Structure 1
Amino acid sequence: MRFFVLNGAEELGASIAAALGHAPAPHEERDFEGGEHKARPLTSVRDEDVFVLHDLVGDARFSVNDRLVRLLFFLAACRDHGAARVTAVTPCLAYGRKDRQTKARDPVTTRYVAQLFEAVGVDRIVTVDAHNIAAFQNAFRCETVHLDTRRLFTPTIRQLANGRPVTILSPDGGGIKRAQLLKASLETDTDMKIGFGLMEKRRSRGVVSGDLFAGSVEGTVVVIIDDMIVSGGTILRAAEACREHGAASVHAFAAHGMFDSAAVRLFSTDAIDSIAVTDSTAAAARAKTAFPAARLDIIGVGDLIGQAITRLHSGGSIADLLGMEE
């Protein structure tokens, strides 16, 4: 097996490598004048089971598009040089939010990205908490492996609850299934009393609307669950509604902390008691550094991904790893 970590994903790569029990394989990335670049493995990949990790969240140096192209080119190079199987490991998959047409002549970008991965010969793609799991699985013709963070969040939620009743709340209609699955997982793995709630949200041309609030949160510890936090507007809107309906405390959980400059509101508001994300992208650590006083907890996802890679390489069960029902 060969496990490569492209530039920009080193911290998560080190965590995954520790779970695998060996260091990442060496590779080279070079930039050329005019903005072009190349990347290549520095060890043989012929007849090897190759896994390539990259962080597809843009930063000040590399855009999402640049990171995606670098990953695609490296995957193609591994295929060209005889890899037996090539797996892309993208914990936060780019362009997952545009998975259907909602306006005239809209693109379906999730499908286009899938076609790019397939075009360079990828056999399998591994991601964590896709924006829409059905759209993710249906977009790809190659094998897809979807890892979720429910069990990673359970110890923190149990600690926050401290014996008090908990309400799991979806901040919009699209996240209902995610919230239901977290609720079911908590009920299976703990003895906590779990309620359920929903905040209505509609977005059109950048304008967010919808005031429906369903569920009883009065006196409970509310856990708002989403797949990602970028500006934090959706989370903040739901948190403020929970406060208005009498929540004892409000905590935000998301797999991917993609915080942009607008997310400063989350780190200063009294509506949210704490925020928990994984280290699926380096953006979370950058936010923690930029706002050292922020009530931000970063939960490691490297061991989960490392265990998944080990099982995929050896033919083990991903369902058992995730605690899925037979």
Structure 2
Amino acid sequence: MVSLLQCPPSPFRSSFSSNNPRSPFLRFHFPLRHAVRCNLVEPIKFDNGKPYIPLLNTSAHHLSSTATSHLDNTLPPFNKHDTRLRIFSGTANPALSQEIACYMGLELGKIKIKRFADGEIYVQLQESVRGCDVFLVQPTCPPANENLMELLIMIDACRRASAKNITAVIPYFGYARADRKTQGRESIAAKLVANLITEAGANRVLACDLHSGQSMGYFDIPVDHVYGQPVILDYLASKTIYSDDLVVVSPDVGGVARARAFAKKLSDAPLAIVDKRRHGHNVAEVMNLIGDVKGKVAVMVDDMIDTAGTITKGAALLHQEGAREVYACTTHAVFSPPAIERLSSGLFQEVIITNTIPVSEQNYFPQLTVLSVANLLGETIWRVHDDCSGGIEPYSSLGID
């Protein structure tokens, strides 16, 4: 059961904090509705990555909020008592939901979610949402089928409770890789899941780093596509890496556009591509490297890490080609076995991920760094609720399509 809790301190590094150091070669300027400063919990005693454990607690915490001087000219006035905006969390990632609510200065709505003995899911809203703008935070991460079904039932509950608008906030959209037919007699599951979410009653979807852009076209409702790229870029910019030493690497040909955009914002770093051929699902074979990485700090960029087969074979090739250090950067940490063993094998100087998918404590390893996308999603929710245009410069700086 997910119930109303006090806002906890942010358990992850927040790259949108008002006191975050900025690199001279990479800056993001946009007004945030809140500059919430939360105390960090005690980190695991690792020398490098310092991942933080997501903890929920019911103790009260003091939050200090400030607004930028030009906020009134860019955003509608904030009303903390605006009851038209309601946020509910599923069971997939309650820590992220709490962080989003904490950033927005709101409290999570009361909702009862339980499972019967036979596995059926029961959802009941514990407060009225009639005429409200409702946002349901629920990534469809593993177990994908359980979390997807829970999201559908949550949407249905809100629709039957006469919510005015229902937005499915899906930090990680499962089944996104099944977005086309590569062989005969295959299903396009991404389209099927999009239809299910639409038919359940969602009016809008807010997704983070879809596997491919065309997945937005599978929905017959508006889709706000948020990129986690600014969070990772901001963190890399705070590190002491000379721009002349950087090279951005795409782990496969399909990710070249993503890596090129990343490299352009990272001081226009050069680009390298790992050419591989896949013989089956979750099985990859690296063939060769396109580009020069000798003596460089290689930053491998991808949208997700599943079994880590592709990215670890690519890292091994980069070391063979003379790369000094290898960083792995990804938004979604699926971490299916044996991903942890591969990532902690010593090939990577640091593995940088976000908290779109919760990482259990037993899956932490010394090189892991977890960044929070809560402020990014929270600010997007405000702008969707306030009907702000996506064309203004501060909005596009958030990485929103």
Structure 1 stretches of 4+ with a deviation exceeding 6 A read none
Matching residue within 328, 332, 335 for 1:252: 328
Query: Is 1:49 aligned to 2:133, yes or no?
Result: yes
Contact 2:286 2:314 in 1 (8 A): no
Among 305, 312, 321, the alignment partner of 2:395 is: 321
More helix by proportion, 1 or 2?
1
Q: How many Å separate the matches in 1 of 2:179 and 2:362? A: 32
Distance in 1 between residues matched to 2:121 and 2:346, nearest whole Å: 45
- How far has the Cα of 1:219 moved from its partner? 1.4
Q: Distance in 2 between matches of 1:305 and 1:5?
A: 13
| Unaligned runs of at least 5 residues, structure 1 | 188-192
SS at match of 2:351: strand
Q: 2:370 aligns with which of 268, 275, 298?
A: 298
Matched residue, 1:307 = 379
CA, structure 1 residues 82+292, in 2 after alignment: closer, same or farther (shift >3 Å)?
closer
In structure 2, give the amino acid aligned to 1:154.
Answer: L
**Alignment partner of 2:314 out of 238, 243, 264:** 238
Alignment-derived partner of residue 235 in structure 2: 156
Distance 1:325 1:16 in 2: 17
Query: Which has the higher mean CA deviation after the structures are superposed, 96-105 or 208-217?
Result: 208-217
CA positional deviation for 1:159 = 4.0
Distance 1:292 1:209, change over 3 A: closer
* C-alpha distance in 1 between matches for 2:177 and 2:384: 27
- Report the identity percentage: 27
The question of whether the paired residues in 2 share the 8 Å contact of 1:167 and 1:217 is answered with: yes
**Aligned equivalents of 2:315, 2:216: Cα separation in 1:** 31
Which residue does 1:190 correspond to in 2?
none
- Give ranges in structure 2 of 5+ residues lacking alignment: 1-84
- Kindly report the root-mean-square deviation, in angstroms, between the aligned alpha carbons of the 2 structures: 1.8
- CA apart distance, 1:72: 0.4
Counterpart of 2:374, as a letter, is G
2:290 equivalent to 1:214 = yes
1:4–1:53 CA contact under 8 A, matched in 2: yes
Q: CA deviation at 1:317?
A: 3.6
Residue 195 (1) aligns with residue 270 (2):
yes
CA distance 1:318–1:279, shift in 2 (3 Å)? farther
- Of 221, 234, 237, which aligns to 1:142? 221
Is the 1:170–1:197 Cα contact (8 Å) retained in structure 2?
A: yes
Contact between 2:277 and 2:287, CA under 8 Å: does it hold in 1?
no
Distance 1:307 1:6, change over 3 A: same
> Structure 2 residue aligned with 1:204, among 279, 285, 296?
279
1:10 maps to 94
For these two proteins, the number of residue pairs brought into alignment is 312
Question: Once the 2 structures are TM-superposed, how far is the Cα of residue 33 of structure 1 from its aligned partner?
Answer: 2.6
Equivalent residue, structure 2, for 1:96: 176
Q: Specify the SS of the correspondent of 1:251.
A: strand
**TM-score normalised by length of structure 2:** 0.74
Deviations 1:170-207 (A, max 9, x none): 101111111111112223xxxxx611011112223344
SS at match of 2:171: coil
Q: 2:120 aligns with which of 16, 22, 36?
A: 36
| TM-score (ref. length: structure 1) | 0.91
**Match for residue 203 of structure 2?**
123
Matched, 1:174 2:258: no
Which of 279, 291, 304 is the aligned partner of 1:228? 304
CA distance 1:122–1:291, shift in 2 (3 Å):
closer
Q: Which has the higher contact order (CA 8 A, sep 6+)?
A: 2
Structure 1 contact 75–122 (Cα < 8 Å) conserved: yes
The Cα offsets for residues 112-146 of structure 1, whole Å up to 9 and x where unpaired, read as: 0000011112111111111112x211111110111
Aligned to 1:103, what secondary structure does the other structure show?
A: coil
Cα shift readout 1:16-58 (whole Å, capped 9, x = no counterpart): 0011111111111122232212102111111111100013212
Q: What is the CA–CA distance in structure 2 between the aligned matches of 1:269 and 1:322, rounded to whole Å?
A: 38
Cα distance in 1 for residues equivalent to 2:97 and 2:122: 20
**1:315 is paired with a residue of what secondary structure?**
coil
Alpha carbons of 1:241 and 1:230: their partners in 2 closer, same or farther (altered >3 Å)?
same
Distance 1:169 1:117, change over 3 A: same
> Are the counterparts in 1 of residues 111 and 124 from structure 2 also a CA contact under 8 Å?
yes
Counterpart AA for 1:315: D
Amino acid at match of 1:117: I
- Corresponding residue of 1:19: 103
What is the rounded CA distance, in whole Å, between the counterparts of 1:29 and 1:156 in structure 2?
A: 36
